[in-house]
Amino acid sequence: MDTNERVADRYRSAALQMLDGETGCCGGATCGADDYVEAGALATMSLGCGNPTAVADLSPGETVLDLGSGGGIDVILSARRVAPGGVAIGLDMTPEMLELARRNAAAEAVDNVRFLLGRIEDVPLPSGSVDVVISNCVINLSTEKPAVFAEMARVLRPGGRIGVSDIVADDHLSPEQRAERGEWAGCIAGALSVSEYRRGLAAAGFVDVTVALSSPVADGMHNSIVRGRLPDPAG
């Protein structure tokens, strides 16, 4: 079983557990439930490491895409923030997670949502179709991060922005040292360093990139908030 299959299997199993009423987190990361005060019981849907909706500055009428939407908490919160007139789209690679997310959205009576099956390296949306991309502890799981960054830039409109929660490593840690701290499917081994994250987003065309480290999840590895935007030729 390769890395992608192990990741899919882990989160497929997590979805089935949550469909049965259990909860969980992403590897050694904390769920960040304290960040979800506004969501109340919705925090039990989270497998992430933070609250990207808190930093994405969402506004009514916007279209927001959540990469790796899991149980749907960030899609639901985003949908409420972009109403009226906006829509929140969740993308996940497992049908089981999509089933969970749709069930949760229905339970919360949120109807300005869409959930799509697909990979974050190949987003099934037209170019220039969203205003904001968010993600919660998912990009570290990808084995093709340049493709993820390129897809984020492709689907965003000019001037579009990102607000991502992720696990990020200190610059002095080598890939081998990151792997010693945890497995890939547990959100640790595949984490980028601060400099790698900045370079990767810049290469995809993003500007004003910031990586803000917060709570530690392992020695030299942190929950983090990553922001950036695409240039807008129109000003």
Residue 40: predicted pLDDT: 47
> Structure pTM?
0.85
pLDDT > 60? residue 25: no
pLDDT of residue 19: 59
- Per-residue model confidence (pLDDT) at position 56: 78
Mean pLDDT of all residues belonging to the chain: 84
pLDDT in tens, 190-208: 899 999 999 999 999 999 9
Higher model confidence: residue 210 or residue 180?
210
> What local confidence, expressed as pLDDT, does residue 37 receive?
40
Contact 156, 205 (CB under 8 A): no
DSSP structure class, residue 121: T
Biggest alpha carbon distance in the chain? 49
How close are the terminal C-alpha atoms of the chain, in Å? 48
pLDDT bin (cut points 50, 70, 90) of residue 2 is low
Q: Report residue 1 as tokens.
A: 């079983």
Q: Which fold is adopted by the domain 3-229? A: Rossmann fold (3.40.50)
What tokens does 131 get? 């205003």
Average pLDDT over residues 148-156: 98
Question: Is 148 within 8 Å of 142 (Cβ atoms)?
Answer: yes
pLDDT score of 178: 87
Q: Which of 13-27, 53-67, 147-161, 180-194 has the lowest mean pLDDT?
A: 13-27
Q: What are phi and psi of 94, to 5 degrees?
A: -120, 130
- Other CB atoms within 10 A of residue 232 CB: 11
